[in-house]
Amino acid sequence: MSRTKENAGATTAMLRAFVTLSRTLNLTEASEQLGATRQTVRRHITDLEKIKGRALFSLKKQEYELTRYGAGIVAEAEGLLRQLESWSGRSGITRLSHQWLESGHYLDASGREFFSQQHPIVRIAKTGLPIMKRTLAAWGQAHTQIEDAAMSDVRPYLVIYRRSPKGWICVEIGEQSAYAMWFGWAWSKSAIGRLSQEDNAGDEFNDFIAGAYARIYGDGGVRLDHLYAHLPRANSRSPVPISFQRLLMGCVFPDGTQGLAVLVLMTNQIDISALGNMEVSCVPAEFVMDFEL
């Protein structure tokens, strides 16, 4: 027996239409990005709204706005799409999960490999780098409030994002953060207020890390990952290999809205099983962040 429209579930096309329109808030632009007609995109949104039983968008003077409910489920929809694309193999990103911990691999068009491996948070207490221990403790003492005095000592090492319908907006880059050290002062200043996908890290890297950002933002918790990636630098013609540990922390701004604080520590102390015996380039001494705070 075939399924009727009334009892059918959400389709990939519906999710893509929802996520794309949530970013563009423009039906014509969304339809062009999707390679579909305006009527098709609108139908996908209407069908998804029927399934969810709630309005996802409001239309005011021919301009789309996410409803509060719609804005609240964008990250979930993005995560579902990433999983579907990973299963299909189209994205080039492979993700595996073992005992609720995720590992990932990405091979870009130039043959460069990216690796990530999530580790349990308790590992920080046992063998964590000094700045990471200090940051996790400060986050707990601050009760996730980013402006709390407990966060003052570690703020210079953090990059802080606010979620918007179009993506992650960078609102603060610490002067001593790995981002500032790696990309330089000029990039750090110009990145404020821009979407994360507009930064210098490159589309491949941003796509690779996006899933973890969305999950921690939605849960409001913390996550520890070790990563090996290839990132551009001003004095290099091609991306440079770099290894680092990353702590993601859900946080709250003074107005009560959610945010995301990211601590990246460049280090040669990484544990990624998929690397095996692969030879990885060492982090230059001037970038290693294993020091005491």
Q: Is the pLDDT of residue 179 over 60?
A: yes
Whole-number pLDDT of residue 40? 92
Instruction: Name beta bridge partners: 156.
Output: none
When pLDDT is averaged across residues 196-204 and rounded to a whole number, the result is 58
- Lowest-pLDDT choice from 90-99, 108-117, 179-188: 90-99
Among 27-31, 150-154, 259-263, the range of highest mean pLDDT: 150-154
Ordered by where they begin, the domains of the chain are 12-88 (1.10.10.10), 94-287 (3.30.450.20)
Which of 16-25, 74-83, 94-103 has the highest mean predicted lDDT (pLDDT)? 16-25
Q: How much of the chain, in percent, has pLDDT values that exceed 90?
A: 42
DSSP H helical ranges for the chain: 12-24, 27-34, 38-52, 68-88, 122-127, 130-141, 178-183, 185-191, 203-219
**Is the confidence at residue 198, as pLDDT, over 80?**
no
pLDDT digits (tens, 9 = 90+) for 236-254: 778 889 999 999 999 999 9
Rounded CA-CA distance 222/136 in Å is 9
In angstroms, the CA 223 to CA 184 distance is 26
pLDDT at res. 1: 38
Dihedrals phi, psi of 85, to nearest 5 degrees: -70, -35
Please give the model's pTM, rounded to 2 decimal places: 0.74
Query: Does position 60 have pLDDT exceeding 60, yes or no?
Result: yes
pLDDT surpassing 70 at residue 83: no
